């Protein structure tokens, strides 16, 4: 209201108003009529509460902006929390991946050591199997040699006996053998 009064006094003190023949406060003065119309419009606007409505609208708008800012801050904080959470999860996943790689390396080393041990055992079994086969072949060869020696000895003994035996000695040998068998069976 003080601003309106200041405006009215400023308009009233203007040199253009003093030059009119009826004075400034005359209905013949257009500037005065415009001032009255202006003051009437401002009065009507004040009477109907337009400045309060405008103030309320501006206050609601300011409150909406405050709410939007608060919501934006909350969203920003939530986003920062999510970023921190994702960063922690990423670090955990990286640590877990490192553990998995370390476990895989250790498992591979254990598997390699086990494979070496298994290969050494397999080689040892093969060597032992080969030694057993060699021993069996050697025993078989010795048996064959003995069997062959016995066969040769029997054949040689038959030949020697056949040459030294007379028909009478043969008969006597057969009779002695029959008597021995008879004694043993009874």
Q: Express each pLDDT in 26-41 by its tens digit.
A: 888 889 899 999 999 9
pTM metric for this prediction: 0.39
Query: Between the CA of residue 17 and those of 41, 55, 75, 169, what are the distances in Å?
Result: 22, 35, 61, 190
Q: How confident is the model at residue 69 (pLDDT cuts 50, 70, 90)?
A: very high
Q: What is the model's pLDDT at position 44?
A: 94
**% of the chain beyond a pLDDT of 70:** 88
Q: What is the model's pLDDT at position 154?
A: 82
Q: What is the model's pLDDT at position 19?
A: 47
């Amino acid at each position: 209201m003080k601003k309106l009064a200041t405006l009215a006094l400023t308009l009233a003190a203007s040199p253009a108003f003093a030059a009119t023949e009826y004075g400034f406060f005359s209905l013949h003065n257009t500037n005065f009529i415009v001032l009255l119309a202006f003051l009437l419009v401002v009065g009507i606007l004040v009477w109907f509460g337009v400045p309060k409505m405008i103030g309320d609208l501006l206050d609601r708008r300011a409150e909406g902006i405050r709410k939007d800012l608060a919501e934006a801050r909350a969203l920003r904080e939530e986003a920062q929390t999510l970023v921190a959470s994702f960063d922690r999860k990423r670090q955990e996943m990286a640590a877990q991946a490192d553990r998995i790689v370390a476990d895989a390396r250790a498992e591979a080393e254990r598997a390699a050591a086990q494979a070496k041990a298994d290969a050494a055992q397999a080689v040892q079994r093969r060597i032992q199997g080969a030694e057993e086969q060699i021993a069996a072949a050697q025993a078989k060869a010795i048996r064959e040699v003995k069997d062959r020696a016995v066969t040769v000895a029997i054949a040689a003994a038959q030949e020697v006996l056949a040459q030294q035996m007379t028909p009478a000695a043969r008969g006597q040998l057969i009779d002695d053998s029959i008597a021995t068998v008879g004694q043993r069976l009874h």
